[in-house]
Structure 1
Amino acid sequence: MSDVQKVAEAISRLIKERITPLPQFILKPLQEDGKNLLALEVSPGRSTPYYYKADGVMEAYIRVGNESVIAPDYIVNELILKGTNQSFDTLTTDAVKKDYSFTLLEATYLERTGLRFEPSDYVSFGLTDKNGLLTNAGKLMTDQHTVYNSRMFCTRWNGLEKGSIFDDALDDKEYEGNLIYLLNSGSEFIRNNSKVRFVKKAQYRVDKPDYAERAVTEALVNALIHRDYIVLGSEIHIDMFDDRVEITSPGGMFGGGSIQEYDIYSIRSMRRNPVIADLFHRMKYMERRGSGLRKIVSETEKLPGYTEAYKPEFTSTATDFRVILKNVNYNLEGDAHQVTHQVIELSTVSKQILAFCTTPKSKKELAVFCGFKDLRNFTLKHINPLLESGQLEMTIPDKPKSRNQKYITVRSE
C-alpha cells in the first residue's frame, strides 16, 4: 500500500463506527520484501458480545472453521452472561428451595465426603440465595426434574456406525433429572454394555475391561459440568459402538476456538458452570480443576493391552464437545472382538458373586444373597462357570463336596 497512514485511519474509523462495544486493537505498520504492510491485532475482550452494526442491522458473529457466521441466539445469551461476569448456574430463579427435595445430593455428599450437607451449605455453595430461592445450579441438583435440558440419551449401536433406533440399537435408554442421577445412570449404561475380559495366570487373573472406569467417570463429569444448559431441547448423548464410546455434550469450548487447537496437557481451565464444577470437586468426582482430559488419557493408558491406537480423542465445534473412548479389547484390524487369551463376559449375577466373595462364603450364603432358591440350578448356571474360568475358587479344593466348602474370589492384579 502506498499510504499506510491513510489506510490505518480508514480501518480505525470503520472499527469505531461499526463495532460495539469498541474492542481494543492496535494497528502496526510493517515492511516485508520492500512492501508496506499493516498488521491489525485485536485483544480478547470481556464486554461480550461484540456486535457488528451497519445498514440498520446489528449482529454478533462467531468463527466456524475458516469463516465468520451469525451467532445463534443461545450463543449470544451465553456471551451476554460472560460480558456481565455471570454464568447460567449462578442465576437465581423463582423456585423456592422448601418446595423441593435433595435426598440424592445429601446422601451422595455424605457418602463421598463423610460430612453432612448442612442447611447453610446451600447458600455458601451457591445453590440458593439468602432468601431461599434456588439458583439454576440448585435446580439441577433437586430430586425432581426441574430443568428440562438436564437429560441424557444413551444408545448401544450394533456395529461401528449409527443406524435406525428401531432396527440397529441393541440398547436404548433416556434419563432426565438430577446431575448425580445422570452421572450414575450414564456410568451404569456404559458398564452394562461393556464386556469384562481377563487373562488367567498361575495364581491370579488380570482383568481386561473394555474401558477404564475412572476415564468414563471423568468424561461424564466433564460433559455434565461444562455443557451449555441454555440450548433449548438439548441433551448429552452417549453412543456406544463395537469399537468405541462417544460422549457428546452441547456447547463448544467456553473460551472459544476448538479443542483440536490446544494441547490438553497445558490447556487453561475455563468453567462454563463454576458452581456445579465446585460442587462436583467437593464431592471428589474431580481430582483438581483443569485435569479432567489428562485424567481420561492417563487412566486409559493403564489398561492391559493399551497402545497409542487406543488413545482417547477430543473434538469440538462451536456447538458441541465430544470425547471418544476406544475399546482396548477391540481388534482395529478386524471386524470383531478377537482376543487370543481366555475371555468371559460376566452376567450381573456373576458380578454379584465375585463382589460378595471377597471373604469365603458358602453355597447357601451365595444363593440367598443372589436371590436363588434352587441350589442345584444356581450351582450349574453361576458357580461352576466361575470356578472353571478361574475367577472363583474353593477353600477346600481336594474335597469339592465337603459340607464345610466355601468359595472365594481369586485376587485380581
Structure 2
Amino acid sequence: MTTIQELIAECTAYDYKVALEESKPKSWLKSVSAFANGMGGSLFYGVNNEGIVVGLADVQHVCEAISCKIRDYMDPLPDVEMIPHRIDGMYVLQLKVKSGNYTPYYYVGDGQRIAFIRVGDESLPATSEQMLRLVLKGTNRTYDSLLTDYKVEDNSFAFLANTFKKRTGQEWDKKYLLSFGLVTEEGQLTNAGALFADYSPMSQSRLYCTRWDGKEKGDAINDAEYTGNVLLLLNEAMNFVKSNTKRGWEKLPDGRKNKPEYAERAVLEAMVNHFIHRDYTVMGSEVHLDIYDDRIVVTSPGGMYNGMLIQNLNIADVSSERRNPILANVMAQLDYMEKRGSGLTRICNETKALEGYRDELKPVFKSTPTQFQTIIYANAEEEVGVKDVTKDVTKDVTKELSERQLVILQMIYTNASITISEMSQKTGVVIRTIKRDIEKLQTSGILTRKGGRKDGEWVLTDLGKSVFDKLTK
C-alpha cells in the first residue's frame, strides 16, 4: 500500500494542505507559481502540516475547483497533473506541478501580478534580480549572451589573446571573438565579451582576497581587491594563494621533495568554477577568496543553476547545467576546464592525490539559493623532516631574479604607488619589458597588486619582504 512518505520521496519539493482554500487561492497558488518557476513540486491535499493523512470528502470537486482557479489566476498556465491516491482508506489528491519552460509564471489576482520562487520550504515573491533570471530562462537566453552597448573597436583583448596562445600553443585570431560568442557581427560586445575585455567595464567582476590570522575571521594578515576581466581575476587569485600559503619540503638522500599545503590544480579548478558559474546579475557582488590557517574558502553569488542544494547531491551525479555557457566554453577552449562538467570531482581527486591526504581533508561544497561555497582543507601533515622553508625559498628566489628586477623591487619598496610608466622612465627600459619583470615578481610570489590600475598600489608579500631584507643586509 502506498504511503505519504513514499509519495514525497519522489518530489523535488512539496507542501501539505488539509483542504482546498477556494476563497483564498493565493494561499496555495503561490506554491504552484514557485514550483513552475523552479524545479517543480507537488501539493498534497488531505494531509495536515504534520504529514498525517486526514483525507478529502469530495476529490472530484477539489479537482474541478483547482482547474478553475489555475485557469483564472495563473499566467501563463503551468503544466500540472492531478493524481488521486487512496491511503489508509482515505483519499489524498496530489497536485503535481512540472518545472516550466515559459517562466516567469505569475499569480494574477487582487490587483497583483506576482511571480514566486521557492526558498527552502517557503514560496516567496521573486526579487528584481530573480525576475531577471526567470525572464532569461523563459526566453531561453543566458546573462552572458545578452548584448551590451560596448563596441569591439573601443576595447582590446590582448590578455585573452596572450592566454590563448600560452595555453593552447596556437596563434590567436580576431575571428574567435565572434565564434566564441563574445561579439556580434555588428561589433557589439555581449556580456561575456565585456567580461573578457582587457579593461572590463563590468563593475561586478570583482575579487576580494583575504589572508586571515588564524582559523576564523578576525585580524587580516594580508588582503587585496581586484576589478577587471575574468582572466586577470583568475591570475590574481592564484598569485594571492601562492603568496599566502606555506610550502614545505621533506629532506631526501639526494635532495628534497616539495610538499605543498594545497594541490594547485584543485585551487585553480575551484577558482575557475566560481568565476564561470557565479551569478553576474547580482550587481554590487564579487567572488571572495578567504585563506585561513587550515583551509581556503571560495564564495560566489548565486546558488546551483538548477535550484538544488549541492550538499544534498552526490557530486559525481551533478549535471553540467551552466548559468553562463559562453564563459564556460571560452574557459574550455583555454584548457582551464573540461566541457563535461567534472570540476568538483577534479577538485576532490587533485586534493586526494596529495601525499599525507586523510579523509577528513576531503573538500566540502555548500550552496544556498543565493551563494555557492567551496572549502579546500590544508594538507597540514606534521611529521619529522617537514618544515617551513621561507629562508630556503628566499635564497632560491633571490638567485632567480635579475639585477633590473631587484631594482624594481627597491623602487616599489620606496614607493608602493609607483606606476609601470615611471619605472620605465627611471630604468630606461621599455614598458613591455617592465611588465614582464612585474609578472615575474608576481608569479614568484614576491609581489601582489592591491586595488585598481589607477588608484591601487604594489604590495610586497612576506616572501617579498624576506627577499628585500636579504638584499639590504
- TM-score greater than 0.5 by the shorter chain: yes
Give the secondary-structure state (helix, strand or coil) at the position aligned to 1:191: helix
Aligned to 1:250: 301
Please identify, of 102-111 and 6-15, the stretch whose mean Cα deviation from structure 2 is larger.
6-15
**Corresponding letter in the other structure for 2:309:** S
Counterpart CA distance in 2 for 1:219 and 1:198 is 25
Distance (Å, rounded) in 2 between the aligned partners of 1:97 and 1:305: 50
What do the CA deviations read for 1:333-365 (whole angstroms, capped 9, x no partner)?
xxxxx55433123366445369x6xxxxxxxxx
In 1, Cα distance between the equivalents of 2:250 and 2:212?
Answer: 27
| 1:51 aligns with one of 106, 116, 123 | 106
Contact 2:332 2:339 in 1 (8 A): yes
Residue number in structure 1 paired with 2:352:
301
CA deviations 1:294-323 (Å, max 9, x no partner) are 110000000111111001011111111100
Distance (Å, rounded) in 2 between the aligned partners of 1:54 and 1:216: 50
Counterpart in the other structure of 1:22: 77
Over 3 Å counting, the alpha-carbon distance change for 1:222 and 1:351 in structure 2 is: farther
Equivalent residue runs for 1:138-149 within 5 Å: 138-149=193-204
Shift of 1:159: 1.2
**Who is 2:276 aligned against?**
225
The answer to whether 1:181 aligns with 2:236 is: no
Is 1:352 the counterpart of 2:397 in the alignment?
A: yes
Asked whether the 8 Å contact 2:329–2:339 carries over to 1, the reply is no
Distance 1:222 1:16 in 2: 42
Distance 1:15 1:351 in 2: 72
Question: By percentage of residues, which structure has more helix?
Answer: 2
Q: Residue 265 of structure 1: SS of its match in structure 2?
A: helix
SS in 2 for 1:284: coil
Kept in 1: contact 2:212–2:222 (CA 8 A): yes
Cα separation, partners in 2 of 1:268 and 1:350, compared to 1, 3 Å: farther
Distance (whole Å) between structure 2 residues aligned to residue 242 and residue 32 of structure 1: 55
Alignment of 1:22-171 (within 5 A): 22-163=77-218, 168-171=219-222
Q: Say how many residue pairs are matched.
A: 351
2:361 maps to 1:317: no
Residue 342 of structure 1 aligns with an amino acid whose one-letter code is V
CA distance in 1, matches of 2:338, 2:395: 31
Deviation at 1:241, TM superposition (A): 0.9
Q: 1:255, CA displacement in angstroms?
A: 0.9
> Could you tell me how far apart the structure 1 residues matched to 2:142 and 2:395 are?
46
- Residue 343 of structure 1: SS of its match in structure 2? strand
Classify 1:20/1:345 alpha carbon distance in 2 versus 1 (closer, same or farther; 3 Å). farther
In the alignment, the residues of structure 2 paired with residue 350 and residue 20 of structure 1 have an alpha-carbon distance, to the nearest angstrom, of 70
Deviations, residues 350-405 of structure 1 (Å, cap 9, x unaligned) = 45369x6xxxxxxxxx8869749xxxxxxxxxxxxxxxxxxxxxxxxxxxxxxxxx
Offset of residue 191 of structure 1: 1.2
User: 1:409 aligns to what?
Assistant: none
* Whole-Å separation in 1 of the counterparts to 2:95 and 2:318: 26
Q: CA deviation at 1:10?
A: 1.4
Match of 1:343 in 2: 387
1:349–1:370 CA contact under 8 A, matched in 2: no
CA 1:28–1:86: 2 relative to 1, 3 Å: same
Q: Which secondary structure state, in structure 1, belongs to the residue aligned with residue 316 of structure 2?
A: coil
Give the C-alpha shift of residue 54 in structure 1: 2.4
Q: Structure 2, unaligned stretches of length 5 or more?
A: 1-55, 408-473
| Cα pair distance change 1:29/1:339, threshold 3 Å | same
C-alpha contact 1:199 1:341 (8 A) present in aligned 2: yes
Give the TM-score normalised by the residue count of structure 1: 0.81
Note if contact 1:81-1:87 (Cα within 8 Å) is conserved in structure 2.
Answer: yes
Q: CA RMSD in A?
A: 1.9
Task: Indicate the residue corresponding to 1:271 in structure 2.
Answer: 322
CA distance in 1, matches of 2:234, 2:59: 58
CA shift digits 1:82-104 (9 cap, x unpaired): 11011111111111111111111
Structure 1: runs of 5 or more not aligned:
331-337, 357-365, 373-413
Amino acid across the alignment from 2:207 = M
- Relative distance call for 1:351 and 1:294 in structure 2 (3 A) is farther
The verdict on how the C-alpha distance between 1:34 and 1:78 changes in structure 2, with shifts beyond 3 A counting, is same
The DSSP-based 3-state class of the residue aligned with 1:62 is strand
Rounded Cα–Cα distance in structure 1 between residues aligned with 2:95 and 2:76: 18
User: Is the 2:144–2:327 contact (alpha carbons within 8 Å) kept by the matching residues of 1?
Assistant: yes
**CA shift in 2, pair 1:353/1:287, >3 Å:** farther
Deviates further, 168-177 or 258-267 = 258-267
Tell me the equivalent position of 1:384. none
Change (3 A) 1:369 1:199: farther
Q: Give 1:402's aligned residue.
A: none
